[in-house]
Amino acid sequence: MGPACSSSVPCGGAAGAQVPGGAMGHPMAPFVLLLLCPTSALSPVSPLSPVSPTPPAAPCFTVPPDAPLELNLTQTIPHCAELDWGHFQRQRRLWLNRNGIEALSPSARVQPGLEELDLSHNALRELPAPFLSGARGLRKLLLRHNRLRDLPDGFFANSTALESLWLDGNPLPAVPRSAFQPRLRFLAVPCRCDVVRSVLDPCACSPAACRCHCLDPQRRSFNVTHFHGSQCRGRAALAAGGAAAAALVALALAVAAVVWHRRRAAAAGVGRAKRDPAAAAPGQPRYVSRADGTDGSADGSAPDYENVFVSPRGAAATAPGWAPGWQRHSLQVPVGDECSLRSEDVGDQPIYANTQSLCQDSIYITPDQ
């Protein structure tokens, strides 16, 4: 028997097609063709058909079950978005530095048998808070040159065997107090005043007991106490000295301003400069002394002389050879001067008046003796 469907007889052909063993135009021919053709050729793929699941991402490292207890994977891969810690459960020493590791799996836990761990020179921004919760045998931990910005206060609380800790090269603001375990003998932090200040008290021990160092970007090492004394304490003292100097300068300026203001007020009280509207024309100095209290004092105890100065705008109109009344003691006074001098009873205080024009109300009043 031939194939159920051939190229000459398409599946689902019209009535009258040649059907083996049947007459042309048989009414059952279409149904026979449907039964004979494969169902996969007739039924379309349903949009609701299940899609095969996406395979899980490949792990960053391929670690065989019988991996050595001292496993060195330094600079094995260029990048690892998240490291699956489940592969490292039996190692005693593990080197994972320089692999571009950005994060650890949230369930990552250091097993109690791990003694040395190197995660330096990666891209770690944070570590799971319970990462060292079971690290009772960890003696050396290197986290240097990552991007760690914070470590929880109790991050090292269960790392009771910790002897060496490297945290330099991270933008950490401080070191948790739990890092200073009884067996800690070496600590490396960034050479920044805020970080160094956070370890000063715990690091105040003899060099034989513990060594606390900071490393700068040029990889130079400094004792944290010496670094703080030369770089941080000096800057703080300089800032405090600058603030104190600025305060003293401000105080001196304030005192000088007060003294100047008082002196000016006293000078204004002794001789106030006033303008006489009647003498606004050609001006000369005029001297007036009053004892009736009109000079600003209530009891007349103010200075006896008040200077009223009118600017000498009319000096050109002054008669040649004439001198003002307050200069008439000199030889410049004309011989035929008709200015008069009279005395009035004004009490015991003298009044001296010098007017603006020649022989016009120029009065000199002296007290009667």
List the structure tokens of 103. 């994060």
> Among candidates 1, 2, 5, which has minimal Cα distance to 38?
5
Q: How far apart are CA 290 and CA 302, in angstroms?
A: 9
Banded pLDDT at 36 (limits 50, 70, 90)? low
Q: How far apart are CA 184 and CA 172, in angstroms?
A: 19
Alpha helices in the chain (DSSP H): 29-36, 193-198, 224-227, 233-270
Residue 255 confidence (pLDDT):
81
Contact by Cβ (8 Å): 248, 223? no
Banded pLDDT at 254 (limits 50, 70, 90)? confident
Percent of the residues in the chain that have a pLDDT greater than 70, as a whole number: 51
Among all chains, which residue has been given the structure tokens 């299940």?
50
pTM across the whole model: 0.52
Q: What is the DSSP letter of 219?
A: -
Q: Is 199 exposed, middle or buried (0-12, 13-18, 19+ CB in 10 A)?
A: buried
Residue 353 confidence (pLDDT):
52
Read off the pLDDT of each residue in 159-172 and give the average, rounded to a whole number: 97
- Number of Cα atoms under 13 Å in the Cβ half of residue 97: 14
Q: How far apart are CA 100 and CA 247, in angstroms?
A: 52
Q: Tell me how many degrees the CA angle 115-145-107 measures, rounded to the nearest 5.
A: 55
Residue 280, pLDDT above cutoff 90: no
Q: How far apart are CA 354 and CA 289, in angstroms?
A: 11
List the structure tokens of 229. 């004394």
Read off the pLDDT of each residue in 163-172 and give the average, rounded to a whole number: 97
Read off the pLDDT of each residue in 40-67 and give the average, rounded to a whole number: 63
The DSSP element (H or E) to which 70 belongs, if any, is strand 70-72
Q: Tell me how many degrees the CA angle 356-360-363 measures, rounded to the nearest 5.
A: 85
Q: Tell me how many degrees the CA angle 253-255-260 measures, rounded to the nearest 5.
A: 95
Banded pLDDT at 235 (limits 50, 70, 90)? low
Banded pLDDT at 175 (limits 50, 70, 90)? very high
